[in-house]
Amino acid sequence: MTTHAALASLSADELASFLSDQQRAYAELRAGGLRLDLTRGKPSAAQLDLSNALLTLPTTTKDRAGVDVRNYGGLAGLVELREIFAELLSTSAEQVVAGGNSSLSMMYSTIVDFIIQGGVESPRPWSQEETVKFVCPVPGYDRHFSMLASFGIEMVTVAMNDDGPDMDAVEALVRDDASVKGIWVVPTYANPSGVVVSQEVAARLAAMPAAAPDFTIFWDNAYAFHHLTDHEAKSADIITLAAASGHPNRPIMFASTSKITYAGAGVAVLAASPDNVAWYLRHLSMGSIGPDKVNQLRHVELFTNADGVRAHMHGHRQIIAPKFQAVHDALTAGLDGLGIATWSNPTGGYFVNLDVLDGTAAHVVALAKEAGIALTPAGSSFPHGHDPRDRNIRLAPTFPVLEEVRAAMAGVATCVALAAAEQLTAQRPGTDAALPDPE
């Protein structure tokens, strides 16, 4: 492995030589004619193939109770499917609603219900509040942020630490401000950092005083079963913690099979307190005659039980774990020791979080694009796409084949090194080059 010296420690001549080397490497990269897309955390074709048995299922038209799944009814979803997810999510089947293919849709409709109707403990609908704010740990999930932005909800950021959201900051925000109505949390293998929320942080979220009686934790357990190593993180049981702390209606949990079976034809679930489940179903009944129970039965037959889901996810791990290792290897080979980048080495989930030299992330993404490597736009993991330090890039290695991941990550390392060398050269006394504006 190449041993690098920190760029900031190089002499002017050494830095100039390094810059020249990176310019040559980048020219070769551009000439390579790459056409690689790492913009989205999508399952690869090989992962989707793991679920091809769905195409011949179900083998019956009736659920366990003998009810015809092709007909009306069953607003909460099949009991068999709810039991599988209840075990996986550490709750009871009575507290699970099984829906359609998208947990994002369930999140969206839940927020709409809060806005129009108000929640179980809301003094009034959110639409009647002068201001509605959400706490948003960053870096975080871009779809959460764009959803809030579409409703005009104000987003207040806190740091996502190694054990979860910065709880001192969260507690200070919610304690006295009744306009702070919620927080987004991806508790297990968070998007994009890979962080697992600790039991201590989860307990503080569940128990903390909040000025808003309807303060809600939107607990998006999107990656709870997506392990990459033998060390399989277990999600904190936020529903039990909240109930024990006297706030049973505070959390609403979401999960889906979007990255387990077929994203376009999977199943999603919501889990919450009995009162919240009744509230959700009451509003859902106004706009639905029930979910696709045929597809739900299809998934029940594919998995049989919770252990079937776990075994299925082991197959995913065998496919994608080498890709995450390839990301780590390429970034280490190209950047380790230079002092210009840090990156996560997650034990689960779908993303690698890359932090580059302040003020260079957008330039890195642009350089990669010119070289035929499409990355998620810089700043996507922040509300409104604005990273105040312009340093964060989300890497999504699951969709391309392994050799493409290796090629793309080697190219990204070159782009990071080139952008850093250009900026550090511009910062040297006596140069006329302008520094990138981090704002």
Task: Say which CATH number the domain at 324 has.
Answer: 3.90.1150.10
Instruction: Flag whether 56 is in a domain.
Output: no
Of 289, 304, 319, the last residue of a domain is: 304
Amino acid at 125: P
Domain of 290, in residue numbers: 72-304
Q: What's the rounded Cα separation, in Å, for the pair 421 and 223?
A: 36
- Cβ–Cβ < 8 Å for 226, 316: yes
Q: In angstroms, rounded to a whole number, what is the distance separating the alpha carbons of residues 305 and 303?
A: 5
Rounded to the nearest angstrom, the gap between the alpha carbon of residue 87 and the centroid of all alpha carbons in its chain is 22
* Residue burial 121-137, b: 16+ Cβ < 10 Å; e: rest: bbeeebeebeebbbbbb
> Is 345 found in the same domain as 273?
no
User: Cα separation of 178 and 319, whole Å?
Assistant: 46
Residue 401: inside a domain, yes or no?
yes
Please report whether residue 360 resides in a domain.
Answer: yes
428 pLDDT tier (thresholds 50, 70, 90): confident
Over residues 342-368, the pLDDT tens digits come to 999 999 999 999 999 999 999 999 999
Same domain assignment for residues 265 and 123: yes
Query: Same domain for 284 and 400?
Result: no
Q: Which helix (H) or strand (E) holds 277?
A: helix 274-284
Inform me whether the pLDDT recorded for 418 exceeds 80: yes
Q: What is the pLDDT confidence band of residue 340, given thresholds at 50, 70 and 90?
A: very high
Q: Is residue 4 very low, low, confident or very high in pLDDT (cuts 50, 70, 90)?
A: confident
Residue 21, amino acid: D
Rounded to whole angstroms, how far apart are CA atoms 47 and 41?
A: 12
Q: Give the total number of structural domains in the chain.
A: 2
Mean pLDDT of the chain: 95
- Residues 295 and 316 placed together within one structural domain of the fold: no
Please check the confidence at residue 236 and state whether its pLDDT lies above 80.
yes
Q: What is the pLDDT of residue 432?
A: 39
| Residue 227 sits in the same domain as residue 340 | no
What average pLDDT does this structure show over 194-218? 98
> pTM higher than 0.85 for the full model?
yes
The answer, yes or no, to whether residue 436 has pLDDT greater than 90, is no
Asked whether the predicted pLDDT for residue 430 surpasses 90, the reply is: no
- pLDDT for position 435: 35
- Give me the CATH number covering residue 271: 3.40.640.10
Give the pLDDT score at 212. 98
Q: Could you tell me if 287 and 371 lie in one domain?
A: no
40 pLDDT more than 80? yes
For the segment 253-264, the average pLDDT, to the nearest whole number, is: 96
> DSSP string of 131-191?
--EEEEEES--HHHHHHHHHTT-EEEEEEEETTEE-HHHHHHHHHH-TTEEEEEE--SS-T
Indicate the pLDDT class of residue 3, thresholds 50, 70 and 90.
low
Other CB atoms within 10 A of residue 169 CB: 16
Report the 10 Å Cβ neighbour count for 398: 23
> What's the rounded mean pLDDT across residues 130-137?
98
Please report the pLDDT score of residue 2 as a whole number: 57
Query: Is 292 domain-assigned?
Result: yes
The pLDDT of residue 153 is: 98
**At 356, phi and psi to the nearest 5?**
-110, -175
Instruction: Summarize the confidence of residues 254-276 as an average pLDDT.
Output: 97
> Which among 277, 304, 331 is the end of a domain?
304
Q: Which of 280, 304, 328 is the last residue of a domain?
A: 304
**Is a pLDDT exceeding 90 seen at residue 412?**
yes
